Chains A and B, each alone.
Chain A
Amino acid sequence: MSDSSIEARIALVGNPNAGKTTLFNALTGQNQKVGNYTGATVSRKSGTFFTPHGHKFELIDLPGAYSLDPNSPDEEITRNVLIGDQEDEETPNLILCVLDATHLERHLYLLIQVIDLGYPVVVALNKTDSAESQGLRLDPTALSEKFGVPFITISAMTERGITQLKQALRRPFPSPPVRLWKGPAELEEAIKKSTKLAETNGEKNPAASGLMAVVKDNPEAKEFIQKTRFEYIHRAVEVGLQRPNEELLALTDRIDAQTLHPIKGWCIFTALMITVFWSIFKFAEMPMGLIEEGQETLQGWVGGLIGEGDFQSLIVDGIIAGVGGVLVFLPQIILLFFFISLLESTGYMARAAYLMDGVMNKVGLSGKSFLPLLSGYACAIPGIMATRTIPNNKERLATILILPWTSCTARLPVYTLIIPLMFAGALQQGLALFGIYALGTITALLAAKILKPRLGKTEPSQFLLELPTYQRPQWRHILQQVSERAFAFIKKAGTVILGLSIILWFLETYPKSDSDDPIVQQSESFNGQIGEIIEPVVAPLGWDTRMGTAMIASFAAREVFRSSIAISYATDEEDGEEMRDKLSASTRSDGTALYTPLVGLSVIVFFIYALQCLPTTVIVRRETGSWKWALGQLAGMTIFAYLAALLVYQTGKLLGYS
């Protein structure tokens, strides 16, 4: 907003699945900025664009909302921005309302509410190509006349009609439309009084605040207004929309008959999930190999440039090995985000939530918790933020508390280091990974069942979910989401992981030992000393001091476990094979193998359950509004992880495994 060349601010509003973000991307291209609203973790996405007349406007992408009577924290932000109640946010000069032409009648409800706010409004009638292929006949002129605002037909996905839409946004903006409904004299009088009061109180948008205050205090008035608005919509669509025979919607019906079937639906769901996890291992092999080769070349080249000594060791063994060891997982992370975005984009994700509702309900949650939990497999932070769509507060809190047990991608570097020590072959490794994810998920759900009743009394959760029509994947949108996540991961590798790699290298290298033997050097270093202190704690888990120090370091970021192991075993971390060979060959002081399958299992179990991610704790504090929950979660999960790893190792030993 500090950009003085911006002539006006336009708020983009629409129902979830209306194609709002696709339109936002089509209008603003690369000129986007992502931030947070004050006091909330709801992201504030804005961008700029030029109209054909050369005007520069700022476009704000508001969270999707079904109505302006908020049912979730997301919808509350949208309402607050529009009525001028959002801190640090000016009211918009115009509202661009995106409506899905294939579900027009239902989406018009938000438009009619937006019209009541008293801003200039332009409607982007999106997905008109899909509407045409479904046989819907739209009359934008009739709709414009009925609602008193311009309706521009577009297809945000194919960018059809974007130029016409930009032309419609020219200055001067259209006059604010008039309210389309009228209440009885008593109600009109109450609205008038309330508006006057809002004006006296200095509200930014008195008309909107006044109307909302009346609705809030008077359920009868609210019901009357809701019904009157829908009656108006009903009459308007009679002239503006001709619906075909519903049989034309049969494709989605036919697919749903399979995907939502009580038996076939679950088979499809399980097959899809196994395919996703198998693909992560299989398709990432080649690019990971290329990254490893690149890293080796870089290490060789840099090693040759710099003379032998501590500086060379810092660059080659500390920085390149530490950062590279994490970067090598970029292909797997890209693949996981790609599949999540793909399932969301095609409309399947809502079906998965519908299927999962039965399971979720048994543990006191609803299908609405499924998407946040699934996002948690990529990263706990967006998963925790996605819980904002859960209307029930207790259910939301329970979901946040269990969410870090859905294994995020930061754990992958640890799993992929340990699993091949236990299993050979891509299929077995894929199944082992699937098992790890399943174990985390099952424990998370059981924890929810125990936690939920202890979080206090709550209203029974009501399941209400829109199942969008199946559509072709929006490749551009998927690409954008995946690249955003990939860059965030690279940024983390270049900042947090880089810093920690330098610290780890320092702790491993100093103080210098007189001996040339790397094992003596390791034991005399700071790291070795820390390891000695924590050895009594980690020894019952079957771990040695190096694994203990790696575990301590991984509380800053899980990926560091791998870097730390690489540095302490003095291996070339980029070369996974070499590293695994060294680990397989490493022994305890009595000569027995250190990395047995039982120790591997103990490490994996610890990593499934431990909450080793400081940013997650910070986000939990912000989302729950209390350190009590954030720190309680951190302590609880760490203790649970330790006890679980202890149980696994000790039981294994009792059963005769080493």
Chain B
Amino acid sequence: MAKLATDLELDSALTLSQAAIGCDFQIRQVEGPACSQLRDIGFCEQMRVKKLTNGRNMLCTVCGTRLALSKDLADQIQVVPA
């Protein structure tokens, strides 16, 4: 049942680049070639993230820190509304 719940949650997850501006999200999964680098800088599962701008490079805040990241990297971060 727990696995089913996680799967359902991941189904409803969107990538950070798809997420809406100004809303709070929680990171559900970080997956992709740069996942380790992303986790090192703070984009780790369970962390709260707020997206500030869209564009080729987007701005967001993670744990109070403002970070700029490219769309390719944002696509590797799955988030759900917090």
Give the B-binding residues of A (Cβ under 8 A). Answer: 66-67, 69, 71, 102-106, 109, 219, 222-223, 226-227, 230-231, 234, 243, 246, 249, 252-253, 256, 260, 354, 357-358, 361, 367, 391, 459-460, 462-469
Which residues of A are found within 8 Å of B37, using beta-carbon distances? Answer: 71, 391, 462, 464
Alpha-carbon gap, A393 to B35, bound state (A):
19
Decide: B46 and A231 in contact? CB cutoff 8 A: yes
Decide: B57 and A106 in contact? CB cutoff 8 A: no
Minimal Cβ-Cβ distance residue in A for B66: A467
Which B26-79 residues have a C-beta within 8 angstroms of A? 33-42, 44-47, 50, 52-53, 56-57, 59, 61-70, 72-73
Decide: B69 and A246 in contact? CB cutoff 8 A: no
Alpha-carbon gap, A218 to B44, bound state (A):
18
Residue of A69, A104, A249 touching B36 (CB-CB under 8 A): A69
Chain A min CB distance to B55 (Å): 8
Which residues of B are found within 8 Å of A231, using beta-carbon distances? Answer: 45-46
Alpha-carbon gap, A71 to B73, bound state (A):
15
Give the A-binding residues of B (Cβ under 8 A). Answer: 33-42, 44-47, 50, 52-53, 56-57, 59, 61-70, 72-73
Alpha-carbon gap, A249 to B44, bound state (A):
22
Say whether chain B's binding surface is mostly helix, strand, loop, or mixed: mixed
Decide: B73 and A463 in contact? CB cutoff 8 A: yes
Minimal Cβ-Cβ distance residue in A for B37: A71
Minimal Cβ-Cβ distance residue in A for B50: A246
Minimal Cβ-Cβ distance residue in B for A225: B39
Minimal Cβ-Cβ distance residue in A for B69: A464
Residue of B39, B44, B50, B67 touching A465 (CB-CB under 8 A): B67
Chain A min CB distance to B27 (Å): 9
Decide: B40 and A71 in contact? CB cutoff 8 A: yes
Alpha-carbon gap, A17 to B60, bound state (A):
18
Which residues of A are found within 8 Å of B68, using beta-carbon distances? Answer: 354, 357, 367, 463-465, 467
Decide: B42 and A462 in contact? CB cutoff 8 A: no
The 12 sampled A-B contact pairs (Cβ below 8 Å) are: A103-B65, A104-B63, A105-B64, A106-B64, A109-B44, A219-B36, A246-B50, A256-B59, A256-B66, A354-B68, A464-B68, A465-B69
Decide: B70 and A105 in contact? CB cutoff 8 A: no
Decide: B36 and A106 in contact? CB cutoff 8 A: no
Chain A min CB distance to B28 (Å): 12
Alpha-carbon gap, A361 to B41, bound state (A):
22
Decide: B69 and A102 in contact? CB cutoff 8 A: no
Supplied contacts A246-B50, A252-B66, A467-B67, 12 more A-B pairs, CB within 8 Å: A66-B40, A69-B36, A230-B46, A243-B64, A256-B66, A357-B56, A391-B37, A462-B34, A462-B70, A462-B72, A463-B70, A464-B34
Chain B min CB distance to A346 (Å): 14
Decide: B64 and A260 in contact? CB cutoff 8 A: no
Residue of B47, B59, B70 touching A467 (CB-CB under 8 A): B59
Decide: B72 and A109 in contact? CB cutoff 8 A: no
Decide: B64 and A464 in contact? CB cutoff 8 A: no
Decide: B42 and A109 in contact? CB cutoff 8 A: yes
Which residues of A are found within 8 Å of B50, using beta-carbon distances? Answer: 246
Decide: A464 and B66 in contact? CB cutoff 8 A: no
Decide: A66 and B65 in contact? CB cutoff 8 A: no
Decide: A105 and B63 in contact? CB cutoff 8 A: yes
Chain A min CB distance to B43 (Å): 9
Which residues of A are found within 8 Å of B65, using beta-carbon distances? Answer: 103, 106, 466
Decide: A246 and B61 in contact? CB cutoff 8 A: yes
Which residues of B are found within 8 Å of A464, using beta-carbon distances? Answer: 34, 37-38, 41, 67-70, 73
Query: Which 6 residue pairs spanning A and B have beta carbons closest together?
Result: A105-B63, A67-B40, A230-B44, A106-B42, A463-B70, A467-B66
Decide: B63 and A106 in contact? CB cutoff 8 A: yes
Alpha-carbon gap, A358 to B58, bound state (A):
12
Which residues of B are found within 8 Å of A230, using beta-carbon distances? Answer: 39, 44-47
Which residues of A are found within 8 Å of B38, using beta-carbon distances? Answer: 464
